Amino acid sequence: MDDLVFDFIFCPDEPDEKIINSFSDIINEKDLNVDYLKKISRESISFEFEAGIDLLETLITRKIDKIKIRIDLSGKVLNENTYACYHPGLSNSKNFLNEPYFSVSKSMLRNSLINYLNDSFSWDNILIWEHEIVHWLDDSLKKYNEEFFFGKGDFQGKRFISHLFDYRSEGLADLLNTLIGRNNITSMESARKEFVSEIRRVFKVPPSKKLFPGSALRNLDKNASYNIGPWMILHVLSCPGNPDRFTGTEELMLKQKTNDNYEPHEIPSLIRNGLKIDNYTFLKYLTKPGVDGHPFLTGDQMRLIRKTMNTIPNGREDIKYYEKKHPEESGSIIKIIEFYNWFGHE
């Protein structure tokens, strides 16, 4: 990777004494000042970012003009549970593909500084960057209008679909973590079981299949998308019917199971095919048989979901607007709605 150009933004730009002193357990008293804090923050974060991007090097063909990173020194900008994030919205300038915009939380920065000052680095942080960089490479995540369409209105079916989009994007970003054994779920079989129990939990569908659609979807668990999502992506990537399947998927899953080493190019190659999975393809192949002959979601489960969440109104008025403004995306929106509504009506 050529030398990267970084543009760091500190929040706040002029931290007060209280903020600076909150680093006194890491930085020696004689060095504890704004300039030094900013200097080592830039150095340690850019070092870990570069290590994260190196893991994916063969995959990055996009020209990178600049990496913008906002560092939250106050601990108030990003919420406690977030370490870093990629901002497709803030990157939404003409150059967003070549000038990605990320944020770093105070806790991630602290972890980075502690390691840096010990002449070390944080492997956790490097993997966090790898995850965020995959989000940046993921063009489907940038289909703002598709996301917006399904996130809008008081229709449970739409909300369920937009929730599934998270399983796709977080699953893709967490593929590497899963393959190196950093996911609590370690097999396709348990991922499928977990998803069914997550659906039951969220939809409150007791085994008797009595339905309570009213309260469903209020308890969505974003974390489930990190654990289950990667297995959904692996399922789609190994589906014999998927023209963009990755033929080495089974082998990589076997290596995960037996804790074998990967060749350096293997996981980036897998992710490259994963990046071709758009929201429609994802939904479609979840219901198709994988290499072991089982779909991730059976037709019966989808029928139950569809029945619980109701059909998505065709929304022709809405779609007309998208057809005019974003013809390519309106095509996939229609395909997704038709596919989802089809269950139970076939």
CA 170 to chain centre: 2
Least Å distance, CB 170 to Zn ion, is 5
The sign of the dihedral angle between the CA atoms of 307, 312, 313, 316 is negative
Least Å distance, CB 274 to Zn ion, is 14
Q: CB-based burial of residue 16 (10 Å sphere; 0-12 exposed, 13-18 middle, 19+ buried)? A: exposed
Ramachandran assignment for 310, one of left (phi > 0), alpha (psi -120 to 50 degrees), beta (any other) = left
Q: Considering the rule CB under 5 A, would residue 297 count as an interface residue with Zn ion?
A: no
Least Å distance, CB 173 to Zn ion, is 5
SS3 336: helix
Residue ranges in the chain assigned as alpha helix (H): 17-21, 34-54, 106-117, 123-137, 144-151, 156-173, 175-179, 188-203, 222-238, 249-258, 266-274, 279-286, 299-309, 316-325, 327-342
Least Å distance, CB 15 to Zn ion, is 27
Site size toward Zn ion (CB under 5 A) is 2
Q: Pick between residue 175 and residue 253 the one whose CB is nearest to Zn ion.
A: 175
Q: Pick between residue 76 and residue 222 the one whose CB is nearest to Zn ion.
A: 222
- Please give the Cα distance from 288 to 215 (Å, whole number): 29
Least Å distance, CB 322 to Zn ion, is 26
Distances (CA, A) of 104 to 3, 51, 64, 68: 21, 16, 19, 11
Q: Pick between residue 135 and residue 235 the one whose CB is nearest to Zn ion.
A: 135
Q: Pick between residue 131 and residue 255 the one whose CB is nearest to Zn ion.
A: 131
Least Å distance, CB 306 to Zn ion, is 27
Quickly count: other Cβ atoms within 10 Å of residue 196's Cβ: 15
What is the SS3 assignment for 33-93? CHHHHHHHHHHHHHHHHHHHHHCCHHHCCCCCCCEEEEEECCCCCCCCCCCEEECCCCCCC
Q: Pick between residue 38 and residue 87 the one whose CB is nearest to Zn ion.
A: 87
Q: Pick between residue 146 and residue 170 the one whose CB is nearest to Zn ion.
A: 170
Map the footprint of Zn ion across residues 123-182, applying CB under 5 A.
170, 173
Q: What is the residue type of 71?
A: I
Joined together, the tokens standing for residue 71 give 């560092």
Q: Pick between residue 93 and residue 223 the one whose CB is nearest to Zn ion.
A: 223
Q: Pick between residue 141 and residue 239 the one whose CB is nearest to Zn ion.
A: 141
Least Å distance, CB 277 to Zn ion, is 16
Q: Pick between residue 147 and residue 170 the one whose CB is nearest to Zn ion.
A: 170
Quickly count: other Cβ atoms within 10 Å of residue 320's Cβ: 11
* φ and ψ at residue 143, rounded to 5 degrees: -80, 75
Least Å distance, CB 168 to Zn ion, is 11
Map the footprint of Zn ion across residues 205-234, applying CB under 5 A.
none
Least Å distance, CB 131 to Zn ion, is 6
- Please give the Cα distance from 138 to 226 (Å, whole number): 16
Closest residue to Zn ion using C-beta atoms: 173
Which stretches of the chain bind Zn ion, using CB under 5 A? 170, 173
